[in-house]
Amino acid sequence: MARITVVTDAWHPQVNGVVRSLENTISEMEKMGHEIMLVTPDRFRNVPLPSYPEIRIALTRYSTVAREFDRFQPSFVHIATEGPLGFYARRWCLSRKMPFSTSYHTRFPEYVSARLPVPESLLYGIVRWFHNAGNVCMVATQSLEQELSARGFRNLMRWTRGIDHSLYAPRPLEERPFGLPRPLFMQVGRVAVEKNIPAFLDLDLPGS
């Protein structure tokens, strides 16, 4: 079976879609017999991101990360984030001619440009450069695939999210609760400022 290194700057104590997706994927890969080395900020000295303490930033050198990779000798690398560890992993893969994949989880350019005076176009240039070096860049939806393709991203592949049937199983319609007018609309996700939940609540929609 394969030896796979998964690199992510987003990890516990964060609770978000990136962390949950990686947890579930790693669990399934291990069940298939693959050996996984997970590279996260908690393996190194790290500090909290100002104003967002759940996000930890690894403070380490490239040589330290490279030694971890050389010791494990992966047959493939997946880079989940464009943070410090992601950049170190990308550099290591290119220097060793190691195949690697990336995944585009977060609208990083929009997130940063909304908070700092940095042009969104400049940020997209950096992110595009980061992802286009890999063998494949995985995205969650068709709409995001089309948007990134129009921005010059290459080697895009859809990685849709599944359902854990041990946690969710739909009931027959007559057993569904609340007795609310149909159709029902629901927001699924974290309660966080960047999710802009008020925009959903303010929608003028039929039903509930």
**What is the rounded distance in angstroms from the CA atom of residue 208 to the CA atom of residue 206?**
7
Dihedral, 199, 195, 126, 122 alpha carbons, nearest 10? 30
CA atoms within a 13 Å half-sphere pointing along the CA-CB vector of 113: 11
Average pLDDT score over the chain: 90
Cβ atoms of 26 and 36 closer than 8 Å? yes
**What is the rounded distance in angstroms from the CA atom of residue 81 to the CA atom of residue 89?**
10
What local confidence, expressed as pLDDT, does residue 156 receive?
Answer: 98
**What is the rounded distance in angstroms from the CA atom of residue 149 to the CA atom of residue 60?**
33
**What is the rounded distance in angstroms from the CA atom of residue 103 to the CA atom of residue 137?**
5
pLDDT per residue as tens digits for the range 54-109:
889 999 999 999 999 999 999 999 999 999 999 999 999 999 999 999 999 888 88
User: Taking Cα atoms as reference points, which of 133, 139, 134 lies closest to residue 156?
Assistant: 139
Return the CATH fold of 3-168: Rossmann fold (3.40.50)
What local confidence, expressed as pLDDT, does residue 174 receive?
Answer: 64
**What is the rounded distance in angstroms from the CA atom of residue 138 to the CA atom of residue 144?**
10
The helix (run of H) or strand (run of E) holding residue 47 is: strand 46-49
**What is the rounded distance in angstroms from the CA atom of residue 132 to the CA atom of residue 127?**
9
**What is the rounded distance in angstroms from the CA atom of residue 129 to the CA atom of residue 38?**
24
pLDDT per residue as tens digits for the range 115-155:
778 899 999 999 999 999 999 999 999 999 999 999 999 99
Q: Which residue has the tokens 């560890």?
A: 85
Interacting residues of 24 by C-beta distance below 8 A, sequence separation 6+: 164
What local confidence, expressed as pLDDT, does residue 52 receive?
Answer: 73
